[in-house]
Structures are given as C-alpha cells and as structure tokens.
Amino acid sequence: MSRAATTSDVFNAVAEPRRRDILSILVSQERSVGDIVTMLGLEQPSVSKHLRVLRAVDLVRVRRDGKQMFYQTNAEAIRPLHDWTSSFKQYWRHQLKRIKERAEEREAP
Amino acid sequence: MSRAATTSDVFNAVAEPRRRDILSILVSQERSVGDIVTMLGLEQPSVSKHLRVLRAVDLVRVRRDGKQMFYQTNAEAIRPLHDWTSSFKQYWRHQLKRIKERAEEREAP
DNA sequence: TTGACATATTCCCATATCGGAATATATATT
DNA sequence: AATATATATTCCGATATGGGAATATGTCAA
C-alpha cells in the first residue's frame, strides 16, 4: 500500500500548505479562481488542482457566475479536525501546569 | 516537486490514521512499543516507523528503560493544529446561525 | 461563427510513501 | 560469550503526489 490519497479525508487534504492558504482566503468571502491566483501568486492550473482536492472532501463549495467560478470555504468541514485536536487539550493544559509547578519548585526548593 | 514529507510538519504527520491512533493511545500515559503493537494490532516494524515520524516532528517523546522504549504524546505539539482550526470557528458558528435563521424563516415566513 | 477570456484537465517526472519481509542493533540474562 | 528479548532499520514494490507545460472545456461578446 502507499500513502493515502489527498482526497481521502480532511486530514490529508489540509496537509498541503497551499491548500491551507486557499482555505484561509476563502473563508471570509467567496473568490474567483483568478482572485486566488493573484492573491497567492500561484499558477492557475495549480490553483485549480488544489481546489479540486478541496472540493472532493467538501472543504470548499463552488458557484458559477458566467465564465467565473466562485469558491468559498465550507468551515463546517474543518470541525472534525478541530474536534480531534480538542481531545488533547486537557493534556497540554496538564503539561503547562506541570511545567509551572517544576519552575516553582526550582525557585523555592 | 512531490508531496511534502510526512516529517515536514505536524499537519503531514497526523494525516496518517494509524499515527493518530498512536497519539491517542499515548496521550494519557506512556507505553512501550510492544504495548502499542498489542493494542492496535499492527506489525512491530510498522509501529516503529510511525513512531519515528512522530518523533521527527516532536509529537512524541521517548524514554528508554532497559530493553524497552517508552513513548508518550507531547500534546503541546498538537496546539498549532488546534490553533489553525480555531481560526475557522467563527465561520462555522455563523453558518450554524444562518442555517438556524433559515429554518425559522421556513417555520414562520 | 469566431475570438477572447476563465477555468479545468492531461501528460510527464522526480520524489516520498506505506506495508511486508528480512535483518540489524541494543540490552539483559545465564 | 552465547542466547533471548525489544526495538529499529533497510530493502522492495505499487502507488500517489505536486509542479510545469500544453491543451481542453466552457462561457460570453461581437
């Protein structure tokens, strides 16, 4: 077997930095492909290919208006990622607490 | 260019489902490689290789005790992922609000 | 219909992957 | 030293990637 496809789930899709950039740009308002190309300074085919991956996992939605395609981030699709990371939150809090305690021990041993 | 290495950052490292499984197991307490093999039913070399990737991006810490290696999740390393997803939170909230509003419009038009 | 514009797809290539099998390394025990 | 146990590494093969270049598709306008 090989590495899972980028289109297999949200985790794989957002592993690519440019796709994260695109998602950040498209979350506050929809943009045409040309806008994204201009804003990120990427090649147009490259942007189209990234958008295809994002669409495959429903991270973006599309709307056609004449010749242009307007994409927007579907923020809801990012929730599974957020939820997964949240399950670790209590532990990094504990770690901070532990680090703090150790620091205090060093100050007043 | 090709796909970024799994060891290039946390996003790429956690794209693999088995590695997420390992992180979940190791977050509450440290475990030996053998424990992980038993708990997840994977081959030992496979586990060692996944652990190597996780170590490369500091998602796990290791401690040797005799013949055994004890691994534990470094929850702190998951924070960048959490922070990135959090930047989308307001938008999925807005989406929920919009959905709710539309539902109310349908009920009382 | 022809041309112009916006976007999508295809083809190529260098590269990295994951699993499996085999093997190597490190530590403890006798 | 020889053996056993725990873990790590290497080699292999099938597969998917992302960028670049070229090309195809789709839509509007004259």
pLDDT for position B94: 74
- B88 → closest Cβ in A3, A16, A75: A75
Reported as a single tens digit per residue, the pLDDT across B5-40 is 999 999 999 999 999 999 999 999 999 999 999 999
Say yes or no to pLDDT of A4 above 60.
Answer: yes
- Provide the 8-state DSSP code for A32: E
CA-based R_g, chain B, Å: 20
**DSSP structure class, residue B77:** G
**Span between the terminal Cα atoms of chain B, in Å:** 54
pLDDT at position A98 is 59
- Average pLDDT over chain A reads 90
Strand partners, B68: B65
Average pLDDT over residues A44-59: 97
**CA closest to B21 among chain A residues:** A84
**Higher-scoring residue by pLDDT: A13, B109:** A13
Q: Cβ of A85 and B73 within 8 Å? A: no
Q: CA-to-CA distance for B72 and B62, rounded, in angstroms?
A: 7
Radius of gyration over alpha carbons of chain A, in Å? 20
Which positions of chain C lie under 7 Å from any protein Cβ? 5-10, 14-23, 26-28
A87 contacts B79? CB cut-off 8 A: no
Q: Does residue B100 have a pLDDT over 90? A: no
User: Average model confidence (pLDDT) for chain B?
Assistant: 90
Distance from CA of residue A34 to its chain's centroid? 20
Q: What is the average pLDDT across A83-100?
A: 82
